[in-house]
Amino acid sequence: MRSRNRQYLVSVDHLRAYAAVLVLLCHGTHMISPHLGESPNKAPHGWLYSDNPLATLVLEGHTGVALFMVLSGFIFTIGTLGKDIRYGRFLGNRMLRIFPLYLALIILGVGAHKQGADLLAVLQSLAGLGNLPGSLDLGAVSSMWWAIAVELQFYLLFPLLSRLLSKHGPVALFKLLGAIAVIRTLVWASAAGGINVNSMLYYSLAGRIDQFLMGMVAAWFFVHHRKWFQGALKVGIATALVTSAIWAFNQTHSFQEGHATRLLWVDVEGALWSLVVLTYVATVSSTGMVSRGIAKVGEMSFSVYLLHYMVVTVFVSRRWGIELTGRPVTDAFITASAAVLPITLTAAVVTFHGIERPFLRWRRAYLLPDQPKATAHPPAPKVALVSPR
């Protein structure tokens, strides 16, 4: 069983690596291409578009954040379904996972950008509210911190949501999703066009909670009906569906133009990535050298995510780029793949092993032991198993 669980974790790390690289390539392509020339596929507001579905995966690579959030709900639920959680220890483990690198970046970033920091801004960011006005603004250093805030807010809710799922099954979470969708639609409609769509649906738990919940539902199906989702064909179908949806999202200019369809998109995006996670983890169990190498990138994905924007900004500020084809977007993608990615991975190796990993060893088991059922003849005492971390 332990070997099988290790295989599932490797598959999850594959997807973490994919999500991190997708976000990096998206930022690199969008940010580096302008100083390499003017793209014919750029809209007046500056966003890039393509008729090629594979290209739109990169141009809309922000969808990797949705995949990250689905994965969070998925992996926590697999480990806790049907179990009682020690709330304090769970949050403590989450702090050990997030805060060592986060705190290091805050200290170093504030030292370099004191004009964007004051005590209240520091406290707000530390309290998990870094996606709200008044939090730290440290340029490229803090550009990705909004996602940390959303994750921390979800962690506060997860033990309650896990108990709800364990007691009442996925129907309870679907009802919750429906209630959230109704309230969110009413908020949108009552504002009469006065809402910043990305502030509400992209940078906020108000828009992201659906994706966490769908990851939790995917974990429930994985635990109870894993065989339904096994098979390379099913992985291919799920991947084709999410790629087609992202292509359609790109063609309708939805990220920048704030269509009301964005209210539906948060659920479509979350559901399709949940299907990818479910089919991939149920099917892929490789532990070969290449598989382990990709998984190592996934293991370091938090460092990759937090560091890559600074690396991209270095290339932008110095107007560096690999100009091979004369096509700005293609050359920007090549630059991101061949230069930004390896530099970021190298930096991530250093920060993961120097800052993250030592603290990960301090995590403690946070699941309460199962309570024995009453019987007419109680069994002899057994040695308690250590619950998963």
Whether the per-residue pLDDT at 96 is higher than 60: the answer is yes
Residue 261: per-residue pLDDT: 86
Phi, psi of 362 (to 5 degrees): -85, -5
**Residue 384 forms part of a structural domain:** no
Contacts (Cβ under 8 Å, ≥6 apart) of 119: none
How many domains does the chain divide into? Answer: 1
Token look-up 């060592």 returns 100
Could you tell me if residue 351 is inside a domain? yes
Task: Kindly state whether residue 367 falls inside one of the protein's structural domains.
Answer: no
211 or 253, which is more confident: 211
51-65, 180-194, 300-314: lowest mean pLDDT where?
A: 180-194
Instruction: Establish if 253 belongs to a structural domain.
Output: yes
Task: Check pLDDT > 60 for residue 11.
Answer: yes
Evaluate whether residue 368 is within a structural domain.
no
Between CA 343 and CA 10 the distance in angstroms is 24
Gap between the Cα atoms of 384 and 284, Å rounded: 32
Residue 381: which pLDDT band, with cuts at 50, 70 and 90? very low
pTM of structure: 0.91
Is 120 inside any structural domain?
yes
Asked whether the predicted pLDDT for residue 176 surpasses 90, the reply is yes
As a whole number, the mean pLDDT across the chain is 90
378 is a domain residue:
no
194 has pLDDT over 70: yes
Structural domain harbouring 333 = 2-360
Residue 3 binned pLDDT confidence (cut-offs 50, 70, 90): very low
Within-domain flag for 381: no
- The residue whose two tokens read 């989450």 is 94
pLDDT at 143 over 50: yes
In 3D, which of 269, 262, 222 has the Cα closest to residue 243?
Answer: 269
Could you report the per-residue pLDDT of 273-318, keeping only the tens digit for each?
Answer: 999 999 999 999 877 899 999 999 999 999 999 999 999 999 999 9
- Position 254 scores a pLDDT of 86
Of residues 2, 84, 76, 1, the one with CA closest to residue 369 = 84
